[in-house]
Structure 1
Amino acid sequence: MILIGFMGSGKSTVAHTLSDKMNLPVIDLDKEVVRMAGMEIREIFETEGEAGFRRREFEALDQVGDSECIVATGGGVVTYAPSRRLLQNMDVPVVYLHADFDTLYTRIKDDSNRPLVRSREQVNALYEQRLHIYRSAADHEIDCSASVEAVVSKLLAISQIRRV
């Protein structure tokens, strides 16, 4: 199962809780990029820009393939067309964790580890730009403003459905 969604949607937190329930490993794509690059995300953005980071993110996603695991992607994975195509061709459910902007912004506004978080207006514009992309890339959409347990419960139901 692959989890997509905007910053603050809880992809990593939900993935680890789901992992405990399904007894499957978690691959945090951001951590995988850092491991493969040998540098932190902020450094990648500073030296290679967002385009360089997206290419590295694609490579990490491609290595995951259709392995039996839970993948927590970065919030912008769907903005890179090759990654989007790869997601659509994988034989696992892609789930969009969605919440309204105010909920997500409250979760991320004080996190200095997010290179794309600047002003509320800039983050809102990014959210609006990506909203339709998340929806078009996903097989399922879940409201992530609910508790982690409620989200995981819905994901467990989805895990029983194979992608066609």
Structure 2
Amino acid sequence: MPPSTLTSTSNIFFLIGFMGSGKSLLSHGVSERMDVITVEMDDLIEQSAGMSINEIFTRKGEEAFRAIERQVLHDIIDQYQIPEKPVLISTGGGAPCHFDNMEVMNQAGTTIFINPSAKRLSARLEQKKQDRPLIKDKTADEIRTYVEKKLKERLPFYSKAIIQVNMIYDDKADNIEFLKDIIESEWIRNQSRDNSE
């Protein structure tokens, strides 16, 4: 785990990683085990645009989606400046890879890269591809090829995360507990540091 370089807004934890990596599932699981605020970026994007993610891609295109996504990211950071409790933000898979989003997140709090294998990602995405505009028309083989290609492209961005986590357990409850322990220890350490300054 790389050394922490957090700012005074270190109450914010950004879960980043490829689509299907389990960011939302882990976020909600952690919220059942400790007192955190959970935020789904995609939900806020849909609220801001007044339409679903699929509709944004279909009607306006990816460029428009990325612009809305960037604005929502900044709005979230502005909203959660006071470290009363940890804020756990599930980002979209491409969010760290556009504009200066990754640098913005690293400045605003702690980025945590959730990094399952390409094989596991492909299997998950094949089961839920209708909810994913970028892969909904692809076959299983095409999904696997897409995941491997895009993951390779995105790793330089994902690898800038302050913390990188491989979800090594087969049981999701164990992975949730593993992530909770990381967030809890970082939160306590950061609050101790801030109080001593």
Q: TM-score, normalised by structure 1?
A: 0.89
Aligned AA for 1:50? E
CA distance in structure 1 between the partners assigned to 2:29 and 2:52 by the alignment: 25
**Deviation at residue 12 of structure 1 after TM alignment:** 0.5
In the TM superposition, 1:60-139 aligns within 5 A as 60-65=72-77, 67=80, 68-90=86-108, 92-111=109-128, 112-117=130-135, 118=138, 119=142, 120-136=144-160, 138-139=161-162
**Deviation at residue 145 of structure 1 after TM alignment:** 4.1
* 1:152 and 2:180 aligned: yes
CA distance in structure 2 between the partners assigned to 1:8 and 1:145 by the alignment: 15
Residue 64 of structure 2 is matched in structure 1 by 52
**Deviation at residue 36 of structure 1 after TM alignment:** 1.0
* 1:21 and 2:39 aligned: no
Q: Any gaps of 5 or more consecutive residues in structure 2?
A: 1-12, 81-85, 170-174
Q: TM-score, normalised by structure 2?
A: 0.75
Aligned AA for 1:24? V
* Residues 103 and 145, structure 1, Cα contact 8 Å, conserved in 2: no
CA distance in structure 2 between the partners assigned to 1:37 and 1:70 by the alignment: 22
Aligned AA for 2:159? R
Aligned residues: 162
Aligned AA for 1:59? Q
Q: Any gaps of 5 or more consecutive residues in structure 1?
A: none
* Root mean square deviation of aligned Cα: 1.9
Q: State the Cα deviation string for residues 61-80 of structure 1 (Å, max 9, x = none).
A: 11111615110001110111
Residue 8 of structure 2 is matched in structure 1 by none
CA distance in structure 2 between the partners assigned to 1:125 and 1:21 by the alignment: 35
CA distance in structure 2 between the partners assigned to 1:48 and 1:79 by the alignment: 19
* Residues 17 and 23, structure 2, Cα contact 8 Å, conserved in 1: yes
Residue 143 of structure 1 is matched in structure 2 by 166
CA distance in structure 2 between the partners assigned to 1:110 and 1:14 by the alignment: 18
CA distance in structure 1 between the partners assigned to 2:95 and 2:168 by the alignment: 21
CA distance in structure 1 between the partners assigned to 2:148 and 2:159 by the alignment: 17
| Bigger-Rg structure (1/2) | 2
Q: State the Cα deviation string for residues 33-59 of structure 1 (Å, max 9, x = none).
A: 011111000110112211111111111
**Deviation at residue 2 of structure 1 after TM alignment:** 0.9
Aligned AA for 1:76? G
Relative to structure 2, which stretch is displaced further, 59-68 or 150-159?
150-159
Residue 37 of structure 1 is matched in structure 2 by 49
**Deviation at residue 18 of structure 1 after TM alignment:** 1.6
